[in-house]
Structure 1
Amino acid sequence: MTYVIHGATGAHGAPVVAALVAAGKPVTALARKPGTVVLGARVLAAGYDSADTLTEAYQGADGVFVHLPVVSEEDRLAYARNIVAAVHAARPARVVFSTSGMSADPGSGGSAAIVVGGLADSGVSHAVIEPTLYLENLLMPYVIDTVRERGALPYPIRADFPVSWASHLDIADVALALLDRPDVTGVVSIGQYPAITGPDLAEAFGGHFGKDVVFEPITPEQMRVSVAPVIGDGPAADVAGLYQAMSALPDRSIALENCAQKLLGITPRTTRQWLTDIGL
């Protein structure tokens, strides 16, 4: 028996592996490249592109942590269907899925919605972690380099747009708890509350670095151009589209009735605490 972690060497999965290993749990780390080494874990070379491979990986698992990678939505849709097929076939004891900030609304027809719907139909014990935006997005070169070089924090949201930011470290804390809490099911929202604005973020960065930092709203198109060299043209266009749609919303605040603070007693890190914890 083991805990199977997707993206074990990446930004999302690695903190979950570390948390499980620290807790003394047996871990099977899924990695796309053969020969990958993950300390404290058994490594299995497996991507998202084979339902049969995933079925074998999930067989007999105590728990599975799943998230969808930053690739084109077309690829994510195929991956989502493979994940669902593998869960239905292997029937692991527990599945925890992070939407990674994508919409899981059944009407959207998106990849996250397919996973959530498939888990609900499977009858397998599961929970869904629903973050809003990741603090790690602020480590993209176009953001952090600008903070350091000219004391400005650029991001494609309005200055008055409140967001319940969460970090990958927070996701790992919640995932660790949920994998062993079959009594908690459904959606678990995660993020800072009250939600904070862009100027609040800039103030936190300024306090951490000991300098004045101002918030600088940019357009989704400016963001697309900045991130395309890092994540690729297709994923960059998809992400920019999400921010364009987000611009019509009043906020991205968590729902208190099903948040990690209430359901699990886990409070996410403040921005300054996160900056300290990652050693920036």
Structure 2
Amino acid sequence: MTIAVTTPTGQVGSRVVRLLIQAGVRPRVLVRDPARLDAGTRGHVDVRQGDLTDAAYVREATAGARTVFWVDPTPHIADDPVGTSARTAAGLADAARAGDVARIVFLSSVGAEKRHGAGHIDGLARIEELFDGTGADVLHLRCAYFFTNLLFELDGLARGVLTTAFRPDAPMPWADPRDIGDVAAARLLNPDWRGRLVQAVHGPEDLTFKQVAEILTGALGRPVRLETVDDATVRRGLLAAGLPPAAVEALVGMTAGTRDLVPEQPRDLVTTTPTPLAAWAYAHLRPALAAHGRP
């Protein structure tokens, strides 16, 4: 069994690699900088060094792999994030059309089902469509809002403020990337699924941002006040930070386009994962916040 994993040092990819190794698989990892792999991992993987934006590299690195776990590496701050996402995935799509790859498990997002109007998530929708047209067996994991997005809020949380442009009382699914990695690894190891499939990963429960602030208050041991802002305020802040206009619209669009979204896949046994936000915040966000600002 040959399984290739992209972004193997990322939040989800690193978890996938670890589980595959523990299952007795020697995964093939596509990585720009092998030095970022931890020392314990390096002896258990086949490294193919290169840049995922290089279609020729992707074709060569995935050739002969029965299954590929694809994570879009496009940063949200890219000048054309939606177009870059689609162009980057084209190399793998070509490999699948040529028969070099039989199965793809793709890390997508809740909101990709809209196809248009969800900012950078539209790029993931383009990738879904691209992979669906290859003739390979394809599974799209449409994931919830990552717990780890809160790590970008350390400045505000240090002041006791959680800021969002989402509606404060609108519930949405939240998930631990570690749990997403568990689902991805299980699907990669299952040889029996066929066709074009979609599976959501919704985390343990839907939460409003008001509830998130309350949970963080308990987990962090300090009051956390929710502050809501509008899209125009977010846009001005991102432009002032020097982000390209297309990147700004892609970021603002992710929130604006999913603000009232009801995910296409319902919450059930298949889509629900176990880790609660309170436990994650206590284990990860609390120490990160304690270290924030230390010299």
SS in 2 for 1:130: strand
Contact 1:155 1:223 in 2 (8 A): no
Q: What is the TM-score when the length of structure 2 is the normalising length?
A: 0.79
Q: Distance in 1 between matches of 2:263 and 2:211?
A: 14
Q: Determine if the alignment matches structure 1 residue 219 to structure 2 residue 227.
A: no
Partner of 2:292: none
Please tell me the root mean square deviation across aligned C-alpha atoms, in Å: 3.0
TM-superposition CA deviations, 1:101-149 (whole Å, max 9, x none): 4524456794323322233232322211001321111110xx12322x2
Deviation at 1:226? 5.8
Partner of 2:273: 267
Q: Determine if the alignment matches structure 1 residue 42 to structure 2 residue 46.
A: yes
Q: Structure 2 unaligned runs (5+)?
A: 288-295
Q: Distance in 2 between matches of 1:144 and 1:107?
A: 31
Q: Determine if the alignment matches structure 1 residue 133 to structure 2 residue 137.
A: no
Q: Distance in 2 between matches of 1:91 and 1:124?
A: 10
Q: Which one-letter code corresponds to 1:31 in the other structure?
A: V
TM-superposition CA deviations, 1:213-261 (whole Å, max 9, x none): 22222233444566679995453441122212334x2x455732xx5x5
Structure 2 counterpart of 1:146, from 135, 156, 179: 156
Q: Which one-letter code corresponds to 1:217 in the other structure?
A: T
Q: Structure 1 unaligned runs (5+)?
A: none
Partner of 1:183: 193
Structure 2 counterpart of 1:239, from 239, 248, 251: 251
Over 3 Å counting, the alpha-carbon distance change for 1:254 and 1:139 in structure 2 is: farther
Please identify, of 215-224 and 104-113, the stretch whose mean Cα deviation from structure 2 is larger: 104-113
Structure 2 counterpart of 1:54, from 52, 58, 62: 58
Structure 2 counterpart of 1:74, from 83, 89, 98: 83
Deviation at 1:159? 0.7
Partner of 1:83: 92
Partner of 1:33: 33
Contact 1:152 1:213 in 2 (8 A): yes
Q: Which one-letter code corresponds to 1:26 in the other structure?
A: R
Over 3 Å counting, the alpha-carbon distance change for 1:22 and 1:205 in structure 2 is: farther
% same residue? 24
